[in-house]
Structures are given as structure tokens and as C-alpha cells.
Amino acid sequence: MIGLHEIRELVSSLFVMLNQKKFILFRIEFLVVLVTVLFLVMFIMDIFRRHIHNATMKAIFTILDAVSDSIVIYLLGAMQTAPFKNQLFPVWALVLVNFRYSVDFISGYGVPDRRGRRFTEWRNVVKLLGSAFLNLSRGSKFALPLWCLWALQMLRSWYRFHSRTLAINSNWHGRSSELVSEYMREANNWKPEECSPRTMEGFKYLVYGERVKLQKPRYVLNINNRSTSLQKEEDLEATSQRRSSERGNHHATSGSKTITRSSLITLDKIWGCHRHLLCSCDNIPSPNNSGNIIQGKDQKDLSLAFALSRLLRCRLEDVKLQRGTFRINKNLVKRRVIEEKDANHAFGIMEQQLAFLNDYFNTRYPMVFWSGLTSLSWSLLASMVTFCVICWLSIDIRKVYKPPEGELVHLKQGVNVDMIITWVFMLFMLFKEIWEMVTYLLSDWTRLLLVCMYARWDDERTRNRCMENLILSFFKSNIIANRWHGQIDQYVFLESYDDRPRIWNLIHKISTGMVPKKDNGAKLSNPIDIPECVKHAILEKLNSIDLTAGHLPKVVISLLDDKRKSYRWACSELQTCTHTILVWHIATSLCEIKLAKNEGVDLSKPGFLCYLLSCFSNCFSSSLYLMDEKKLPGKLQERYIIANSLSRYCAYLLVSKPDLIPDSFFVPNMIFQEAVTLAHDDILKGCESLQERYDKLMPKEKNNTQNVGEENINEDVLRQGAKLADKLMKEENEDCWEILSGVWTELLIHLAPSWNASAHKKCLESGGEFITHIWALLWHCGIEKSMLWPVEDVPDNNAPGATPNNNAENSNVQPVHEMQQAAGDRQQMPTTTTPNGGHRSGLANGQGNVVRKMQNIGNRCYFNAVLQSLLALSELRSRMLEQDPPPGRALHLELKKLFVDTINYKESTLETEKLFQLMCSRHEDINQGDMGDSNHALHSLLNDLINEEPEGMHFPSTVKSLFNGQVVKSVSSIQCGHHSITTEALVLSLAIPSNKPVSMKDCLDLYTTGEIDDWECKECSVSANENASASQTDSTVDDQTEQLNSGTHQKEQFSYSAGKKIITQNQHQGKLPLLDCNARQMDQYHNKPKEGKKIRRVATIKYRINKAPPVLTIQLKRFEFVHDDGSGKIEEHVIFQETLDITKYMDTRYLDNEYKYCLVAVIVHGGQKLDDGHYFAYVRASRTGGQKRESSDTHSWFLANDEKVEEVLFENVLKCEAYILFYERVPHSKVKGSLETHTQTNHGFREA
């Protein structure tokens, strides 16, 4: 027997042996080979990342990533501390660090930097520094190429850091969602009558090439795609033509044709391109160009998929789109996808769309293509230089094949093993660089950029065959044919409920969570390729479902027949959609077992030998179900496949992806585990075969299936499924499977709409789920919920495309006479004169406002601040109380109710829930739980109130007469001496100057005077076009509207030279407007688009107010256009006072009167970001709820911060960082009376 002493000596000798030089070298060689194999496996898995969605494979990749990284760090230390010298150690170290970076050269991280992958880059830099120290301390005969390779890797690491910053700031990537949102908000970009899904005309979706600048003096976002050199050429040409005209030379100017190409590429430009490769099929002769027809279709589909992906990215990044966008987008998607006869083509577009999104969120493609083909060339150049340096290093290593004396090497029969390892490294690195370049070149991003470049030169007369062949070669070459795995996972409850993954969960504990845990009874079946008939069935159902209501209707079309009404309870009367899935899934499984038994399939428990034989036969069998579906005839076979595949897929979603179905939080898992426990421990206990489980469930229900809808449907899902199955089995086989296939197709469609976009975004990492394709398709149609499910995940009519419901009956508000009666019981109100000579009840000048508390339920502080400010406006209060709201106007009713409720002295909070829900139903960017913007909420509320007021009233409408003002815009150019005058709506959204200190006067001065560098001079444009020869007709330059703000108003434009008056109307949604220089717009002097050159000048612009509204709202622009981390905030304090005099900003025709305003309310935003922080208001009032002041002639200021209302000093109000200010105009007779006292006490300051 071996004693303790012998064991100690054995262990000691083992450690002594391991510390010998040859064993140290062997250990290093072994680990180098091992980690190289691991890197190779990870490299291959990364290539097929979109095809690997198995949890086990993802767990393996995670483990390999952690283990390989630790081995590399260990090897760097082992090579450094080795007691012998080896010339190849520095080479191995540098190559291993390079492999560690390159193993996920595509899926390193996306723009959002998921899971902090940028930290990996820092680790890579530290490893490079370690390899540099090894090279410096060990020395090498080929140090020069090693140092060059090291420096190149350091440079590439720096470029990866820097390129991510560039991608974040790129309009094409990081800022795309904000830019698209503002672009789609501009009404001039979208004329529904011009949008034709058949020809794609009018669909100006952004694809590539947009450049953005802030247009002074209004600081509105402006897409600018014209080069400076082009502008200078146009100015010189226009000046020359003007001088020639002055000399009397009216002859046509000789010279070559000038062509102006826009850098902006929109979807309609690509689809409407007349060049050979993209020309419509009708214009392409056949049969010679039949191949080009197909390729042209592929290129157009690619651009369509990318344009749709930019819209969908807005949803995934929580950027709101205007409701009107979905009405237009719905027509496009229905025509190009849903109504597509080729299901593979339709879902191929959705596949391309999600592939672009996956690339953006989870790969390095945005960093490679942050500047299009230019940045791609830098990445290719880095790979080519690296390739050359590796060849240089390989040649130097070849020269020292025999190591110098004194170095320890591993020789095996005269062969240098270390050199073999090194050569494998070199070949691997060369292959990696080549593969990386090929991957970038053959990516969808490169193809898209080539198509955009091709479409940009649409005016070329000659055919560029070289360019066409290049594009076609890129589209024909594929590294991997499919962009995602194209499979749906399967789960069968009756086969898996008794599974207990004890070994797997033990590994989960040992790996400390790196291997995901599995639940009992959740064993999945093998995934299957999506059957073709499933895609066709989904498109057919989508075509038959009403997609115009903003939500899916509460109806299952397959059960509309009166003969099938007995099945409806299983769709509409169960507690949750989880119950619905399980009941129909169990019923489908039982029907499948019944059909298999009828076809002679033995479902009893086989013996051991029979079990081995069945396993062997299954390996060579193509059957995916209990029986061979190919034996079924015609339609029955198709319906059998649809029902079973979708039943198992929906059950898989319930078990493994519960976040993708409408039921929220832990509901799906709780119900599922309850069913598993019930089946395993009670109903199906001891049943080992499908036959036994079938016999156990079905006999009990034989005589108990009458009037199942009236029975207790709250019993367990197994018995409910058995009842449903028994009812289905009484149908003929054809009818039974027709019902099942139809119901499952519709159930999947109804499961798809979801508020949880982040869950679908997370699934993109592993290629995405099939339900994500349907979810994206429905989202483009403006649908984010289904009315079929009893548990609602979003408020009614809150989907993007929902039609606003203005019916007062549905708003559950009190009738007008009841509110007035309630108000009369509380207090008698004094009388004032109405605009039409009548009388009204109300208190003016703040004497009737009671500041009461408001609940902040779900980030509603921004809306509360707006309501508190509006309730403080005395003139609005008087008009709302004296008028009966127009019939059927829910917003007026609710707002008047608030005015009535703020007359009495009560401590209770105001009920604002109904008013807020009305706003949610009309605006998809106002949602419960989402932080909003007070400025946007204010404009949305006022616009809705205006829209509710009927036309042709005998007195001015309440909101328009109080809030709408008008300015005169004067634009003049020193270059040409021309000028124009325009009237616009008064929208005081003021930029904050950079000088300190800043006062309200400084902001108004900046607003009223400024300079623009691209004013379109109509006179110069007309002159240039009149002098042009008919044979030298210039292409249309990028259209640019002269409008600098798109407020809710009517604009009257006067041009001194034209002598014509043109009226246009635009709609403003309350956010910063975006002007599109490339949108095709109506010419200002004709009723049809005019093709001709347009001359732009540097001009001075001035604004003067010609109509001052009774209520003046001023927004200070405190938020900058910043991406990723939200909007940046300007914290500069702006000095304001209680009295504001705007007389100096009035038009000269109105200087006889004084225009002085008194401050009534101030909205303040606390926080660093627009989508973060907290809103509250300071309001002027005579009393607060529960407290009455002794003197009703004086007023005080109160802090209205949700449920906190307290009196404050006016000095505290003046110190706040104001965001929105509300002023009421003071009648001229009262200026020197009541207000003069306040202006003198406020430090003698008055705004001039």
C-alpha cells in the first residue's frame, strides 16, 4: 500500500518534471495548438452566426470565448517567463492576439455596443502591449516585420474605436432614426395622391446620401445635399447671365450642358431609375435581357428592404414616427409584400430587412460602412497592408528555418514542430485577411451602395456595361446563400411534459449560469425548415384580414361559419393567449395521434430492439411528424403540415420565447409549469407512450362534449384540449384539418403584434424568429396589438396606424349640462362680455384658477405641466367655461371639466386620466409609461382642439383666436438685389445664443434677424431658364422649399417681381420641423412641376410680427440633436421677467399700440436628456385647492409639481431654467395700472 510519503514524493517529482524546459515548451506548444483550434471553431461559428439559433451552440460559443481568452493571457505570461529562448515565441504571441480579435471580425459588436464589447478592444490593446514587451525583451531576427505588424494592429484597434464614434454620429447609422423621424414628419415630403405602390412614385424613403445642417435663423433641421463648388458655379453662371441681360444680349448662352446630381438617394429614385440595369421590365427588350430583369428586381428589392429597415429601426430604438407615415407605408407593404403571389419573394424582402437590422445592432458592418464606400476602402486597405506584412514576416521566418545554437526547439524525426505550427499560423492569418475582405465586398451593404451609385447617374445617356457587370457579379456571388436560418423550432407537449433535465441543470450550476437553465417538460423537438405552404397560408390570411383599423380585429375568420361557432370559445373566451395556445396545441396533437392510428402507425411503447431500430430508421427518414405526411392526399397533406408545424412552433414560443407573445411577465411560464405538473403528477402519471396518453385523455370526454361553450371553461388546459379534440374528431378528416390549419395560421398572426420590440431586437442576435418577420410586417401596417386577446398590452387605438376616435359616447365623459350644474352648486361666477356681444361666466386675470394636484402615473409629468399651465390662462378659462363644447368633441368636454373642477377649493387631485387616454389614442408618440416632451404635448393638444372646432362659427374659435399669431418674413440678397416677403405663423421656438449672460431679448433678436446661404431667388432662376436654349434644357436641381418653419398655419407668399399670390397649407406636429431639399414640390409660380435650374443666393432674413396673439407661448431650445445617449441639454440660464414688451419686434404698421405681456406660467425640465428627467410648472393663481386667500385682487406664484403644490416667491420663479413660458397680453388701458407696480419691483428690468 502506498503511504503518504510516497504520494508526496510522486507529486513533487511530477511538478519537477513539469518545470523542465522540454515540458514547458511542450505545454506552450500544446496550448497554442489548442487555442488555435478553438479560434478556428469560433471563426466558423461566427460565419454561420445567422444560422445558429440553438441554445446549446450559443452556450458552447460563450464557453469557448471565455476559455480561449484566458489561455491567450496565460500563454503571454508563459512565453515571457520561459527559462529558454525561442525565436518564434514573439510571432506566436502576436498572431494569437490577432486571432483573438479576428475570430469575430463581423459580430464583434454593433452601434449600440451590446454587453460592453468595447471593453474587449481595450483588452486587445493590453494584449498587444504584452506581445510588444515580449518582442522587446526576447529579441528576434525578424523584429522589423514583427514591429510593423504590431504597429498595424495597434492602428486598426484605434480605428475600430474611432470608427464606432463616426458610425454613431453618421446620419446613415447612429442618427438615422432621429433623422428619419423628422424627415417623415415633414408634410411636403408626402403627397398621398402621388404615392403609387405599383410604380413606386412618390415614396421618397431615405436610402443613402443625406446630409443634415441646422438652418438659421429658425434652427430647423435641413437636408442639404448640394456641394459648395456646385453652388459657386451656379452663382457665377447666374451673375454672367444677369450682366449679359443688362447689356441687351438675349441670345442663348453657348456651352455644354450642366448636370446637377443629388447626393441623396431615395427609394423612388432607385425604382424609377431609367438606366438599363434598373429599368422597368416593360422597357427592357426580351429575350436578350431576361437575366437583367431578374437582377434588376433583386437590386430594387434590396433598396426596398433597406428603406423599410430604417423605419423599423425607429421602432427598435424607441423613436416615434408620425401617424401619417403608417397610412402611406401600409399601402406600400400591402402591394409589395402582402399581395405578392410569390411567398418566397415576399418573405425574402422581410428577411433582407431584418438582416440589415441585425447587422446594425450586432455586427461591425456599421463601423466598416460608416461613410459608405469610402470607409469600406479604408478597411480593405488595412487588410491588404496586413496581408503584405504577413507575407514579409513569412519570408523572414523561412530564412531562419534552422534555429541558432542554444535555442530550444521541438524536433520530431528531424522535423521542426515549432516551424510547422508557425506556418499554419501564417496560412491561417492570410486566409483570415482574404476572407474578411471578401465578406465585406460581397455584403448586402456593398451591393446597396453600388446600386445607389448607379441610380445617382440616372441622367447618363450611354450605357455603362462595366458598372452593370460589376453590380451583377456582386449580386450573383454569395458566401452564404441565406441571410438567416429559415427554420422554426418545434415543441410537443404530450411528448415532452415528463422530461426532467437534471444533468443539464447540473452543468448550469457548475458553469455558474454560462449554460442556460432548462425547465421541466420543456424539451424541444428538432427544428424544421419553414414549409412553403405555411408562407402561402400566412399571406392569404393577411390579405383576408382587415388591416385598416390600427389593430387586428377580434375575430377568427376560419370560424366565422355558423357550423363552426362551437369552436369559438377556444379562441375568445379563455383567460389568456397562453391558455389558447395550449388548448389548441393539445387538441392538435390528439388529432394527429388519431390520424396516425388510422394510418396504421404503432404508438405503443416499443421494446429495446424495436426502439433501436426506430432510432436508426428515423435517421434516414424525412418524416417530421408521427406519420409520413407524403402518404396523405392533396389538400389534407398541406393542411396537416400547416397545422402541425405552426402548432408546435407556437408552443415553442410559449415555452422558450414567452416575451414574443402578448402575455406579459411570468404568465406564460406559470401557466405552462402548472400544466406540466398536472400532467406529470396527476392526469398522465405513469403513461409512457403516446397511445397510453391518448387513451387516458380521450375516454373521459366521450360523452361530455355537448354544449362545451356553456360548460366551465376555467378547468385545466389538458381537459379543455381533450374536449376540443373530441369535437374536432367528429368532423371529416378534411374539415378537421382545414379548421386546424386555418386557426393556427390566424393564431400566429394574432400572436405577432406586440409592444415588446426589445424582445424581437434581442432575437436578432441569433438570426431572428419567424414571428419577428410577421411582427415587422404588421408594424409597417401600423398594427401593434390584436383585439383577440383579453389581456391588453397597450391602450385601445394606440397603435401607430389607429384611426382617432372622436366619439363622445366612447370617451365616458360627463355631459355638458351635468358639469355646469356641478359647477353652479359649488360657486357663483361673475359675468363678462363674449366676442359676439353675449355674456359668459368666468374670472379673468387669474382670479378663478385653483391650483390642484395631479397624479403622475407612468411618466406623465410632462403632460401635467402642460395642463397646469393651460389652466392658469385666464382668457382660455373664460372662453372654455362660457361655451358649450361642440357636439361629439371629447377633448373639449374633458378640458372644460378640468376648468370646472379648478373653481372649487378641494384637496383632492384632478382627474386627468380620460384626457390623457384621449391624447394617447390620437398620437402614437404619446403613450402610458413613456417619457414625453411638454412642447410636443402642448402643440398636439392645441392642434387637436383646433381640429375639433367646427368650421363657420359666428365667433372666433377658442384656440386659434388665443394662440395663433403671424409674422412677416422679409428676405433680400445683396448679390442680386432681389427680395421677397412671406407671411408665416408665429412660432416662437427660440435658439439660445452662446453669449453670456443671455436674456429673452437676446433670444428674440437672434430669432428675428439672420442670414441664409442657399435662398432660392425666383427672379434669377426665371432669368437663367429663359436664357437657356431648348436643346440645352438643364436637369432639375434638387428642389428646396423656401419655407423655414412648418407650423400649423396658412402661409401667404408675395413676390414683388412675380406679382402673384400663392397660398399653401402645412401641418406641424409640435416638434422641430425638418425641411427636405430633395423632395419634389410644386413650383411657386405654376400649378405643375417645373423643370429648370434654380439659383440660390446668400441672403438676409428678417421677421416682424404683424399679428400678436392674446396668449404668447415661447419655447427655449434647450435640447441638441445628439444620438445614442439621447438629446443633449443646454443648461444656460435665460433671464426673463414678469413683463415682456414685444413692441420693437412688431411690423412698422402696428407700432401705434403697445404690445406688453404678463407672465402666467413657466414649464421647467429637470434632467440632462429630453427623454429623461422630470417636468414641473410654476403657475400664477389666486388660490390653491384647500386654501383661500384673503384678498382676491392679488395673485401669487405656485409650484405645481404633480401631487406637490406649494406657494413660492416670484424670485424663485425668475431663477429657474425655463423651458416653455406662457404670457398673456395686457390690455392697453391696464399697462400703467396694475402691471407697472410689478415691473418696478422686479429690479427695474423690462424687456425692450
Residue 171: φ, ψ to 5°: -65, -25
Residues 6+ apart with CB under 8 A from 1027: 241, 244, 245, 250, 252, 253
Q: What is the pLDDT of residues 931-940, one digit of tens each?
A: 888 999 999 9
Cell (9 digits) for 680: 406529470
CA 1011 vs CA 110, 216, 695, 972: distances in Å: 40, 7, 85, 10
- The partner residues of 1081 in beta bridges, in order of sequence, read none
- 1056 Cα distance to chain centroid: 46
Grid cell 436578432 is found at: 764
| pLDDT value, residue 650 | 96
First to last CA, the chain: 106
Give me the long-range contacts of 662-668 (CB less than 8 A, separation at least 24): 662/577, 662/751, 662/753, 662/754, 662/785, 662/786, 662/789, 662/791, 662/793, 663/576, 663/577, 663/578, 663/789, 663/791, 664/756, 664/791, 664/793, 667/576, 667/578, 667/791, 668/578
Distance (Å, whole) CA 717 – CA 726 = 14
Cell (9 digits) for 141: 531576427
Give the other-Cβ count within 10 Å of 28's Cβ: 20
Distance (Å, whole) CA 785 – CA 751 = 9
Instruction: State the greatest distance between any 2 C-alpha atoms of the chain, in Å, as a whole number.
Output: 123
Query: Element (H or E) spanning 962, and its range?
Result: helix 958-963
Give the other-Cβ count within 10 Å of 42's Cβ: 19
Show the DSSP H helices in 781-847 as ranges. 816-826
Distance (Å, whole) CA 1211 – CA 1194 = 17
Give the other-Cβ count within 10 Å of 690's Cβ: 23
- 963 Cα distance to chain centroid: 34
| pLDDT value, residue 288 | 44
Distance (Å, whole) CA 932 – CA 919 = 12
CA 1218 vs CA 152, 1131, 1188, 1211: distances in Å: 51, 10, 28, 13
Task: Say if CB 164 and CB 113 are below 8 A apart.
Answer: yes
Grid cell 419567424 is found at: 770
| pLDDT value, residue 792 | 45
Phi-psi region of 554 (alpha: psi -120 to 50; beta: other; left: phi over 0): beta
Burial class (CB in 10 A: 0-12, 13-18, 19+), 965: buried
Cell (9 digits) for 567: 369552436
Query: CA gyration radius for the chain?
Result: 36
Distance (Å, whole) CA 401 – CA 407 = 13
Per-residue b or e along 901-933, where b marks 16 or more CB atoms closer than 10 Å to that residue's CB: bbbbeeeeebebebbbbbbbbbbbbbbeeebbb
Distance (Å, whole) CA 212 – CA 169 = 11
- 1181 Cα distance to chain centroid: 42
Q: What is the 3-state secondary structure (H, E, C) of 322-369?
A: CHHHHHHHHHHHHHHHHCCCCHHHHHHHHHHHHHHHHHHHHCCHHHHC
Cell (9 digits) for 185: 414628419
Residues 6+ apart with CB under 8 A from 5: none
User: Which ranges of the chain have pLDDT less than 50?
Assistant: 109, 115-116, 218, 227-232, 234, 245-260, 282-294, 620, 701-712, 791-847, 954, 1029-1091, 1122-1126, 1186-1193, 1229-1248
